[in-house]
Amino acid sequence: MQAKTTLFAMAMFAMCIAVWAVEWKPATKEDGKQLLNHLLPLPHAIAINEKVVLNPEDISVKLRKGAGDVEKNGFSILTNLVNDRLGHVPSGNVFEIIVGVFDENGKLDGRPVENAEKLKALPNNDQAYLIQPIGRDTLIVTGNNEKGVYYGVRTLCQILTPVLNKDKIEMPLVKVEDWPDMAERGLWHGHGYEIAKELSALKINYVDYTIQPLPVKKSQKTGIAAISRHIVNDCYLNAINCVAMIYHLNFVLPPAYEQYPELAGKGDSALPAMNPRDRGTGAEHRCPCASEQDVLQNILAGWFEGMAAGGAREMTVWTTEFYAQCACENCVREGQLFLEVKALLAAWTKAREKYPDARLRIVISMRTADAQMAKVLAEIPADVKIARICYIGHQRNDPRDLFVDPQFDRFAGKGAWVSCYELPPMRNLKFLALPYKDFIASLMQRGWHGGDIILNTEDAKFNWESNRWNINALAEWSWNNKGRDIKSFATAYATINRYPEPEKFAQWAEIMAPIEYDLYGSGEPLMHGYWFGEIKRAIASGKRAQCWELGDGFFRYFPAPESFGEKISSCEKALAIAQALNMPELILETRLNICAIQAAKTANQLMNCLDKEPVDKKGLNECVRTFERLAKERVDIFDARQKMFSAELLPAFLVESAKAGRAAAVDFPKYLKSELGALLQ
């Protein structure tokens, strides 16, 4: 009897401790600020009025009964975080976190979910989620789809990371209502599936998986190299669509021409060229004779069936790259792109006889006449996705030009599913951010459904380390395009990545963002190959061409002579901040931008010298010397940036590419001297 009394007293004592340990506090403005700085992307609607201080042993986490695989994976991410921070997963009974899809009655675990019906009406509602308190002792993460629940868990993990401590937990009773602005947000190329967990934490939901077709033989059905099912499935569990992809038809089909000579495109026009005025080169990339529909459809159907059999839920094929046209009479009459798309659709239809759930995406990079493109788009059924580059054309606009693709804009505007596979290229500017916000806003206004970044290498780890800022920018503004400006985005990025002084980093980003945008929009004036031909034409004609006019072409965002000095002055302020932070990557990028502006300024001075009558030879010599100095500085910057990566992390081809970049920088002044010739004497 005494033992029972003792046990009862101990139990009551433990309960008293638990009750005593709980404390509710109003959330302060600083609490809200710190919370937002740990969230990326920023939710559309978030509020915190109160927080509860808990003994860590008093919390518990629970998954709904009958949860699907994606929910289960999201829940395991949550429990792993709790275990990592606390050393175990408590099973207390004071405060509970419940995770799962709400039922048809708008309830989770028998409890009504506020705004469940409203969630169903949100854009892209299959990815939408709610986080909300029920009373003061429960927090739920829910949605009407597993993907939404998964994204809600990812947000909750960002909320909990700074507050889960072994001594106490200051649990924010947060209320979140969230959804993505853009349906698809992804990475093209670069083995993104290898960093699926990092990407899914940012709610990136598209990667591709390049498929290698097997050699085509007449005596055998066409097939593909085996798909790693675990890659596709791992992405699926992390709410990422991993799409099996076959590269450009004129890259993968030429090996089949030995077995099917009639399939090879006819004439020199079948060789691809960047510009239709140029003659194509490279027989290894000859486009197919797409009039050979039976042969082409059978090859493609075999590839599609192989991808579907390997577990691919969606398949992507790229049409022929650039300008290429089989010269046979029928291909010329019907159009190369039209016949390729016709074959793809027929092959997909055939493959769906065995795999009815297989989905198709066609990537169109080929440029063709408007009438031909209209004919192609008229053939695309509503359940086929189209991917397209988004900046085929420019529309002059202030403060910055717009990128447009009129035919595809109209196509998307009618409800067709269109995505952009190449958002602003990252090139030399690691912290180029503002174009993502503007590009994505433009795409959404035009009715496009998705946007992807092209990564530079097939090394996923290097891509993540070198492009983290850009990937975060894509995640931020494709999920919530109007939520943050560049300064608040940079503050959150720096906070999450544990930069020493996030606010100073944000100051640097705020100064540099518009300058880098202007450099990007002016063709990145870094003495690259685009300049060579235009300078040669200017020297030959003896006058400034339109592309060298201030406010146009290479000087699009340098409207007046003083624009160069103003931008350099801003860069110098940013450089002082970077140096105070002692962050080499910021210092080097700022120096690279100064170098680019000085190169643009010198190019303008060069044109001024050519415009004079007689030509200002002394000024031309000064310009050449300045270009020589800038070329050396650019090489020094690139060398320093390369040294920031370990030899193990830096892909070999980038090392070679860097060598080519150095050579181009050094060659530019030499080329200039050669073209100017006697004018320098």
Are 447 and 418 contacting, i.e. CB atoms less than 8 angstroms apart? yes
* 326 pLDDT higher than 60: yes
* 312 pLDDT higher than 80: yes
Mean pLDDT of 224-229: 80
Number of neighbouring beta carbons within 10 Å of residue 212: 11
Number of neighbouring beta carbons within 10 Å of residue 96: 18
Three-state DSSP class for 42?
Answer: coil
Nearest to 133 by CA among 19, 30, 20, 47: 47
* 345 pLDDT higher than 70: yes
DSSP 680: G
List own/partner pairs for 646-650 with CB under 8 A and 24 or more apart. Answer: 649/459, 649/461, 649/462, 649/465, 650/462
Burial level of 673, CB count in 10 A (0-12/13-18/19+)? Answer: middle
pLDDT of residue 645: 67
pLDDT of residue 527: 53
Q: Measure the CA–CA gap between 369 and 334, rounded to whole angstroms.
A: 12
Band of pLDDT at residue 207, cut at 50, 70 and 90: very high
DSSP 291: T
Band of pLDDT at residue 649, cut at 50, 70 and 90: low
* 20 pLDDT higher than 50: no
Number of neighbouring beta carbons within 10 Å of residue 459: 20
Mean pLDDT of 32-42: 95
Band of pLDDT at residue 489, cut at 50, 70 and 90: very high
pLDDT of residue 9: 44
Amino acid at 669: P
Nearest to 59 by CA among 171, 216, 205, 221: 171
Lowest mean pLDDT among 77-86, 402-411, 489-498, 657-666: 657-666
pLDDT of residue 286: 93
pLDDT of residue 577: 97
The residue ranking higher by pLDDT, 453 or 457, is: 453
Mean pLDDT of 16-45: 83
Element housing 577 (H / E): helix 562-581
Number of neighbouring beta carbons within 10 Å of residue 230: 10
Mean pLDDT of 452-477: 84
Q: Measure the CA–CA gap between 528 and 606, rounded to whole angstroms.
A: 16
Cα→Cα distances 174→71, 132, 383, Å: 21, 6, 39
Three-state DSSP class for 428?
Answer: coil
pLDDT of residue 674: 82
* 217 pLDDT higher than 90: no
Residues ≥6 apart with Cβ < 8 Å to 525: 519, 531, 554, 596, 597, 599, 600, 603
Amino acid at 271: L
pLDDT of residue 390: 58
Q: Measure the CA–CA gap between 620 and 678, rounded to whole angstroms.
A: 11
* 2 pLDDT higher than 70: no
Q: Measure the CA–CA gap between 245 and 232, rounded to whole angstroms.
A: 12
pLDDT of residue 12: 45
Cα→Cα distances 67→146, 147, 639, Å: 8, 12, 52
Number of neighbouring beta carbons within 10 Å of residue 501: 14
Q: How far is CA 529 from the centre of its chain?
A: 26
* 173 pLDDT higher than 60: yes
Residues ≥6 apart with Cβ < 8 Å to 198: 464
Domains, the chain, in order of start with CATH, read 24-178 (3.30.379.10), 211-368 (no CATH), 513-680 (no CATH)
Are 212 and 224 contacting, i.e. CB atoms less than 8 angstroms apart? yes
Amino acid at 274: M
Are 99 and 149 contacting, i.e. CB atoms less than 8 angstroms apart? yes
Measure the N-to-C terminal CA separation of the chain; round to a whole number of Å: 113
Lowest mean pLDDT among 89-93, 291-295, 514-518: 514-518
**Model confidence pLDDT, tens digit, residues 117-155:** 999 999 999 999 999 999 999 999 999 999 999 999 999
Q: How far is CA 419 from the centre of its chain?
A: 12
Are 426 and 453 contacting, i.e. CB atoms less than 8 angstroms apart? yes
* 469 pLDDT higher than 60: yes
Number of neighbouring beta carbons within 10 Å of residue 216: 23
- Percentage of residues of the chain with pLDDT beyond 90: 60
pLDDT of residue 537: 78
Lowest mean pLDDT among 68-82, 250-264, 277-291: 277-291
Q: Which residues pair with 171 in a beta bridge?
A: 52
* 670 pLDDT higher than 90: no
* Structure token pair of residue 220: 């055998």
pLDDT of residue 396: 82
Number of neighbouring beta carbons within 10 Å of residue 531: 21
Lowest mean pLDDT among 333-337, 524-528, 619-623: 524-528
Mean pLDDT of 486-500: 95
Q: Measure the CA–CA gap between 67 and 320, rounded to whole angstroms.
A: 43
Lowest mean pLDDT among 212-216, 397-401, 516-520: 397-401
**Model confidence pLDDT, tens digit, residues 543-577:** 777 888 899 888 899 999 999 999 999 999 999 99
pLDDT of residue 302: 92
Please give the full DSSP string across 473-486, using - where no structure is assigned.
HHHHHHH-TTT--H
DSSP E strand stretches across 348-388: 359-364, 385-388
* 422 pLDDT higher than 60: yes
Lowest mean pLDDT among 317-321, 412-416, 520-524: 520-524
pLDDT of residue 244: 92
Mean pLDDT of 418-437: 72
pLDDT of residue 526: 56
Are 40 and 493 contacting, i.e. CB atoms less than 8 angstroms apart? yes
* Structure token pair of residue 11: 């139990």
Three-state DSSP class for 440?
Answer: helix
* 205 pLDDT higher than 70: yes
Q: What are phi and psi of 365, to 5 degrees?
A: -105, -15
**Model confidence pLDDT, tens digit, residues 268-277:** 999 987 644 4
* 220 pLDDT higher than 90: no
Mean pLDDT of 572-600: 94
Cα→Cα distances 437→182, 362, 474, 477, Å: 12, 26, 8, 5
Please give the full DSSP string across 491-540, using - where no structure is assigned.
HHHHHHTT-S-HHHHHHHHHHHHHHHHHHHHTT--SS-HHHHHHHHHHHH
Mean pLDDT of 364-379: 86
Q: Measure the CA–CA gap between 116 and 125, rounded to whole angstroms.
A: 11
How many DSSP H helices and E strands does the chain contain? 22, 19
Q: What are phi and psi of 116, to 5 degrees?
A: -60, -45
Are 148 and 128 contacting, i.e. CB atoms less than 8 angstroms apart? yes
pLDDT of residue 224: 76
* Structure token pair of residue 357: 């759930």
Are 328 and 291 contacting, i.e. CB atoms less than 8 angstroms apart? yes
The residue ranking higher by pLDDT, 247 or 393, is: 247
Lowest mean pLDDT among 131-140, 367-376, 453-462, 468-477: 453-462
Band of pLDDT at residue 648, cut at 50, 70 and 90: low
* 191 pLDDT higher than 90: no
How many CA atoms does the CB half-sphere of 453 hold within 13 Å? 32
The residue ranking higher by pLDDT, 396 or 64, is: 64
Averaged pLDDT score across all residues of the chain: 87
